[in-house]
Structure 1
Amino acid sequence: MGRSWKERVFIALLGIAAASGLTMLILILVKATDVFLPADTKFGIVFDAGSSHTSLFVYQWPANKEKDTGVVSQALTCQIEGPGIASYTSDPTQAGESLKSCLEEALALIPQTQHQETPTFLGATAGMRLLSRKNSSQARDILAAVSQTLSNSPVDFWGAKILAGQDEGAFGWITINYVLGMLLKYSSGQWILPEERTLVGALDLGGASTQISFVPQGPILDQSTQATFRLYGANYSIYTHSYLCFGRDQVLTRLLAQLAQNSSVALVRHPCYHSGYQATLPLAPLHESPCVHTTDSLNLTQNLTVEGIGNPGECVAALRSLFNFSSCKDQEDCAFNGVYQPPVHGQFYVEASYPGQERWLRDYCASGMYILVLLLEGYKFSEETWPSIQFQKQAGGVDIGWTLGYMLNLTGMIPAEALTQWRAQSYSIWMAGVVFAVLTLVAILGAAAVQLFWTQD
Structure 2
Amino acid sequence: MGLSWKEGVLTILLGAAAASGLTTLILFLVEATSILLPADTKFGIVFDAGSSHTSLFVYKWPADKENNTGVVSQALACQAEGPGISSYTSDPALAGESLRGCLEEALALIPEAQHRETPTFLGATAGMRLLSQKNSSQAERIFAEVARVLSQSPVDFQGASLLAGLDEGAFAWITINYVLGSLLTYTFSGEWARPPEATLVGALDMGGASTQMSFVPGGPILDASTKASFILYGSSYSVYSHSYLCFGRDEVLNRLLARLVQGSHSGLARHPCYHSGYRATVPLAPLFESPCVHTSMPPGAAQNLTVEGAGNPGACVSAIRELFNFSSCEGQADCTFDGVYQPLLQGRFYVEVSYPEHTSWLRDYCASGLYILTLLLEGYGFSEETWPSIEFRRQAGGTDIGWTLGYMLNLTNMIPAKAPAMKQAENYGIWAAGIVLVGLTLGAILGAAAVQLLWPRD
Structure-2 separation of matches of 1:97 and 1:305: 39
Point out the more displaced range, 315-324 or 65-74.
315-324
How far did 1:417 drift?
Answer: 1.2
RMSD: 3.0
Q: 1:116 is matched with which residue?
A: 116
Q: 2:392 is matched with which residue?
A: 391
How far did 1:257 drift?
Answer: 1.9
How far did 1:344 drift?
Answer: 2.2
Gaps of 5+ in 1: 297-303, 327-334, 430-457
SS in 1 for 2:282: coil
Q: Is it true that 1:152 corresponds to 2:188 in the alignment? A: no
Q: 2:19 is matched with which residue?
A: 21
Contact 1:254-1:294 at 8 Å conserved across structures? no
CA change 1:210–1:6 in 2 (3 A) is same
Q: Is it true that 1:59 corresponds to 2:73 in the alignment? A: no
Contact 1:267-1:277 at 8 Å conserved across structures? no
SS in 2 for 1:281: strand
Q: 2:412 is matched with which residue?
A: 411
Structure-1 separation of matches of 2:10 and 2:229: 76
Contact 2:274-2:364 at 8 Å conserved across structures? yes
CA change 1:306–1:12 in 2 (3 A) is closer
Contact 2:279-2:309 at 8 Å conserved across structures? no
Structure-1 separation of matches of 2:154 and 2:407: 21
CA change 1:17–1:361 in 2 (3 A) is same
Contact 2:278-2:309 at 8 Å conserved across structures? no
How far did 1:276 drift?
Answer: 3.0
Q: 2:312 is matched with which residue?
A: 311
How far did 1:363 drift?
Answer: 1.0
Point out the more displaced range, 245-254 or 262-271.
262-271
Structure-1 separation of matches of 2:346 and 2:10: 85
Deviations 1:178-230 (A, max 9, x none): 11111100112111111364211111111101111111111111111111000
AA aligned opposite 2:181: G
1:2-81 superposed matches below 5 A: 4=2, 14=12, 17-25=15-23, 27-28=25-26, 35=35, 37-81=37-81
How far did 1:37 drift?
Answer: 3.9
CA change 1:104–1:28 in 2 (3 A) is closer
CA change 1:114–1:260 in 2 (3 A) is same
CA change 1:226–1:8 in 2 (3 A) is closer
Q: 2:272 is matched with which residue?
A: 271
How far did 1:239 drift?
Answer: 1.0
How far did 1:342 drift?
Answer: 4.2
Point out the more displaced range, 284-293 or 158-167.
284-293
SS in 2 for 1:114: helix
Q: 1:223 is matched with which residue?
A: 224
Count, aligned residues: 406
Structure-1 separation of matches of 2:86 and 2:29: 65
Structure-2 separation of matches of 1:105 and 1:305: 45
Contact 2:324-2:338 at 8 Å conserved across structures? no
AA aligned opposite 1:156: D
How far did 1:27 drift?
Answer: 4.3
Q: 1:161 is matched with which residue?
A: 161
Gaps of 5+ in 2: 298-306, 328-335, 437-458
Structure-1 separation of matches of 2:135 and 2:296: 24
Deviations 1:30-65 (A, max 9, x none): 899864543200000000000011000000001111
Q: 1:98 is matched with which residue?
A: 98
AA aligned opposite 1:167: D
SS in 1 for 2:173: helix
Contact 2:186-2:192 at 8 Å conserved across structures? yes
Q: 2:352 is matched with which residue?
A: 351
Per the normalisation by structure 2, the TM-score is: 0.81
Q: 1:181 is matched with which residue?
A: 181
Per the normalisation by structure 1, the TM-score is: 0.81
Q: Is it true that 1:136 corresponds to 2:141 in the alignment? A: no
SS in 2 for 1:56: strand
CA change 1:104–1:422 in 2 (3 A) is farther
Q: 1:171 is matched with which residue?
A: 171
CA change 1:113–1:11 in 2 (3 A) is same
SS in 1 for 2:289: coil
